[in-house]
Amino acid sequence: MAISIDGPRVAAKSRTTRQLVVLLHGYGADGNDLIALAQQWQNLMPDAAFVSPHAPERCAQAPTGRQWFPLTMRDLEERWVGVEKARPVLDAFLDAECARYGLDDGKIALVGFSQGTMLALHVGLRRAKAPAAILGFSGALVGPEHLDATRAGSPSRKPPPILLLHGSEDDLIPAESLFLSAADLAEAGIPVQWHLSAGLGHGIDGAGLKHGGLFLADCFGVRPARPTSA
């Protein structure tokens, strides 16, 4: 039986959905952990709906939370096996969301945190049509040695815009992962932007929220409203 996932949703502020932001939570959390980002970004993207699906598996290390795949951080092969196993689950969810809202991938953005960033990068770079954007907080690229395969079927396919953000004091996924991921993507011909938040641990700060929201709005082609003069 195919695994089905879902989670909390926030409707487009304008009540007309022209874009969709899919929020992928980290290891041991669930969809409720990131859905509040919708409140932070709605004014920038009033036509965007938000959904934050719960990962398909219960988390062994946090029984009340979920996981996209088992993660000990000790085995790189474990991550590759994990993202490959989770990929069809997220692909099916994205296909269903496209049908739900009458959108194509060019109107969908993937936003991940930690393990969710690993999955956002893995799946977003392998969709038949690139998503509008991939935004990753405090994560890492899994399996950089496999990046060539992402363009094997359609070498002219343009990769999605990517922004990676990380805290300089992250003690769970070190900031070095940001630079390694950006370098591996660039070496594969995939442009990437990045931002390092000084003093931040494994989390999202105000600067990250601002940079991330403006990045998504720009990728969706939404221009900030100009203030009206008195």
d(CA 26, CA 194): 19
pLDDT at 156 (0 to 100): 61
pLDDT at 131 (0 to 100): 97
d(CA 140, CA 30): 19
User: Number of structural domains, the chain?
Assistant: 1
d(CA 43, CA 36): 13
| E strand or H helix that includes residue 33 | none
Distance of CA 191 to the CA centre of its chain: 16
> 């994205």: which residue's tokens?
94
Q: Do the domain assignments include residue 183?
A: yes
Q: Do the domain assignments include residue 73?
A: yes
pLDDT at 138 (0 to 100): 98
Q: How many CB atoms neighbour CB 37 within 10 A?
A: 23
Parallel/antiparallel/unpaired status of strands 162-167 and 193-197: parallel
d(CA 184, CA 181): 5
Q: How many CB atoms neighbour CB 1 within 10 A?
A: 3
Q: What is the pTM of this model?
A: 0.94
67: domain CATH number is: 3.40.50.1820
Q: Do the domain assignments include residue 131?
A: yes
pLDDT at 73 (0 to 100): 63
Q: Do the domain assignments include residue 54?
A: yes
Domain boundaries, position 67:
9-149+157-219
Q: Do the domain assignments include residue 173?
A: yes
For 163, the token pair is 């922004």
Percent of residues, the chain, with pLDDT higher than 70: 93
Distance of CA 81 to the CA centre of its chain: 19
Q: Do the domain assignments include residue 228?
A: no
d(CA 207, CA 197): 7
Phi, psi of 57 (to 5 degrees): -115, 145
pLDDT at 95 (0 to 100): 97
Q: Do the domain assignments include residue 142?
A: yes
Low-confidence ranges of the chain (pLDDT < 50): 227-230
pLDDT at 230 (0 to 100): 44
Question: Among 66, 122, 73, 71, which Cα is nearest to 94's?
Answer: 122
Region of residue 113 (left: phi > 0; alpha: psi -120 to 50; beta: else): beta
Q: Do the domain assignments include residue 59?
A: yes
